[in-house]
Amino acid sequence: MPLTSSLPDGAVPRYLLVATHAEGEAGVFDVHALRGEDPRSVQPSQKESLREGREPAEEVPVGVVLILDESLRPLAGPLTFSYEDIGDLVTWAEARALRWVWESTRYWYALFLTDGMTVERCWDLGLCRNILRNSPATAGGDYAAGRGAATGGDLDAAAPAGPEPAAQGSLFAAPAPRGAAVEDVGRDFSAQRAAIPGTTAGRKLELLLAAESVGALIAAEIRATGMPWSTRAHQALLEEQLGPRPADGHRPAKLERVAEELRAALQAPKLNPDSPQELLRALHRVGVDAASTSQWELSDHEHPALEVLERYKKLSRLFTANGWAWLEAWVRDGKFWPDYSVGGVVTGRWSARGGGALQIPATVRSAVRAEPGHRLVVADAAQLEPRILAAMSRDEALAIASTGKDLYQAVANRGFGGDRASAKIVMLGAMYGQTTGDAGRLMPQLTKTYPQAVGLIEHAAREGEAGRRVSTFLGRGSPGPDDAFVAARRAANSLDATPADQSRADSIARSRGRFTRNFVVQGTAAEWALCWLGQLRLGIRRRLPDLSSRIVFFLHDEVMLHVPEGQVDEVVKIVHEAAARATELVFRSDLVETPVTVAVVETYDQAK
């Protein structure tokens, strides 16, 4: 491998690998050498400008880079770089449209963002590894079998965690973690590229890998930017609904008053309403024979205490989930700092690392407030999953229904006598496996009207029931059957199996079938949403390059941006165009429409 800090004549760099160290000797990053220029005759580099007028200090390497061409041949490196080199490194690479390749976007991009530097594209080896090892498109290959993967420390775990991102430079105060060597990063990248088949399935899979990686960039940027949040407004709504902040271990005054109401209504003066066991016993004593205290379970019962209980639960949720303790832990400097885990759910949806970033309840949305001179642009992909089902299945009748703003009404008009409620019940029932009751009664009509759409999800259900894996449209594979499924199947197939064994196996199989039928639709919707986010981010970078318009929140099929007032109209255009482009990218078709609704507001509650 060449150890050089300059590029060969005529070389065209394509990828820039980043790692914590090299296996052997490494040179030193020098932006002048990479540009092929004499530092004495050009403008100072960013690093030189930073150091101007300061005493020379020993540089502490924070990483190593290796520059590759399209064929993955090394052109320059390995080269160590310091924190002061990040500005020059990113500027040089982005000017050449290189793709960054690293183990963990969460770790490496956080370093770049603390220096105010952003990148356009990356390949996250960790996220891509999870997809490639489980995708049916790569099944049977070496990579899916676990051969050729990079080894090293968990850089995701080494990234900053908690309610606030790291301050500039603080990431380098602690000893640097040790991940895979840059040579191992290169070998793993080569193995991942080789694992993608040169087929239609491979093309789809490559789009998914790119979308997952750009999703990681967006999650890191949201983490670094924060969501505008008014502490004053939040405290005011807490006092309005709960009363003054109580001492530790005590309920707020208004919550305690509702607790007293509940005790009186249930004739239980010593009741602890936060204890499900005590609450259930008290309900039984007054004739409410419920199996649990869930809202769904209690909806079948009538008693004056139930209305009081619902009020108590609502206030208690506010106090425990978004009360004063949450506000102190997660809101700093007028910002809530969401911390997302990209692909944290098996379907590809994001999850959150604490703080409730995926659950901002209506009761506190008025605290999400645009800064002066800005607006919140809140966009929502309407009725996304049935539209995705239409596109996946190429069901022309359902695709026609998707052309309007209200897909459920269009479905109702075609096969359910205009009854929108029935159409929605049966459509959701088909996707989520609710095939009894009203949904079951209406299912034959749905199957007759939209045979290809229903056929796709029914096939996914049968595959799951048989213990086989299914995949999303772009190729994310579902998990295999769990231990309970395997054990139940083994017991049912044994020579001394009982009817109870067979019944249990059938029940577990049906449960898995409900999961797989939803997996293919929900997972594909998550892929579309990633592409929407990616195109939205790209549109902003290309058309509003000052990057003052920022994505600050994402939830499944909803995105929020914080936008200067003068850029609102352009951002709204980009939002709509990005949705249309995402549909074209994923499905290579304009058969289905995926409209988005957009609200321009000052506070989040105004968008709902």
**% of the chain with per-residue pLDDT over 70:** 93
Would residue 170 count as lying in a domain? yes
CB 586, CB 528: distance < 8 Å: yes
182-211: pLDDT as tens digits: 999 999 999 999 999 999 999 999 999 999
Q: How far apart are CA 246 and CA 239, in angstroms?
A: 10
Q: What is the mean pLDDT of residues 223-250?
A: 95
380-415: pLDDT as tens digits: 998 999 999 999 999 999 999 988 889 999 999 998
Residues for the chain: how many in total?
608
Q: Are residues 49 and 172 in the same domain?
A: yes
- Both tokens of 265, joined, read 């209504």
- Host domain of residue 406: 399-520
Q: Are residues 466 and 596 in the same domain?
A: no
Residue with tokens 């029940």: 507
**% of the chain with per-residue pLDDT over 90:** 74
The more confidently predicted of residues 198 and 158 is 198
**pLDDT grade for 161, boundaries at 50, 70 and 90:** low
Would residue 391 count as lying in a domain? no
Q: Are residues 60 and 158 in the same domain?
A: yes
Q: Which residues contact 252 (CB under 8 A, 6 or more apart)?
A: 238, 242, 243, 244, 245, 246, 315, 319
Q: What is the mean pLDDT of residues 86-99?
A: 94
User: Of the candidates 225, 240, 267, which is a domain's last residue?
Assistant: 225
Would residue 464 count as lying in a domain? yes
Range of lowest pLDDT (28-37, 414-423, 514-523): 28-37
Residue with tokens 């619902």: 310
Mean predicted lDDT score pLDDT of the chain: 90
The more confidently predicted of residues 55 and 97 is 97
User: Of the candidates 205, 225, 245, which is a domain's last residue?
Assistant: 225
> Is residue 150 predicted with pLDDT exceeding 70?
no
- Both tokens of 315, joined, read 């206030």
Q: How far apart are CA 544 and CA 540, in angstroms?
A: 5
Would residue 393 count as lying in a domain? no
Q: What is the mean pLDDT of residues 471-494?
A: 95
Q: Are residues 533 and 601 in the same domain?
A: yes
**CATH code of the domain covering residue 550:** 3.30.70.370
User: Of the candidates 207, 225, 243, which is a domain's last residue?
Assistant: 225
Tell me if residue 13 falls in helix, strand or coil.
coil
> Is residue 1 predicted with pLDDT exceeding 50?
no
**pLDDT grade for 151, boundaries at 50, 70 and 90:** low
Q: Are residues 71 and 146 in the same domain?
A: yes
CB 1, CB 185: distance < 8 Å: no
Would residue 1 count as lying in a domain? no
Q: Which of 2, 197, 168 is nearest to 86 (CA)?
A: 168
Q: Are residues 376 and 513 in the same domain?
A: no
Would residue 84 count as lying in a domain? yes
Residue 598 forms beta bridges with which residues?
379
Q: How far apart are CA 71 and CA 519, in angstroms?
A: 36
**CATH code of the domain covering residue 110:** 3.30.420
**pLDDT attached to residue 590:** 76
Q: What is the mean pLDDT of residues 513-525?
A: 96
Q: Are residues 236 and 220 in the same domain?
A: no
Q: Are residues 512 and 535 in the same domain?
A: no
**pLDDT attached to residue 330:** 92
**pLDDT grade for 608, boundaries at 50, 70 and 90:** confident
Q: Are residues 50 and 181 in the same domain?
A: yes
Q: Are residues 534 and 501 in the same domain?
A: no
Q: Are residues 213 and 140 in the same domain?
A: yes
**pLDDT attached to residue 158:** 73
Would residue 388 count as lying in a domain? no
Q: What is the number of structural domains in the chain?
A: 4
**pLDDT attached to residue 272:** 95
Q: Are residues 597 and 562 in the same domain?
A: yes
CB 533, CB 517: distance < 8 Å: no
> Is residue 169 predicted with pLDDT exceeding 70?
no
Would residue 591 count as lying in a domain? yes
**pLDDT attached to residue 297:** 84
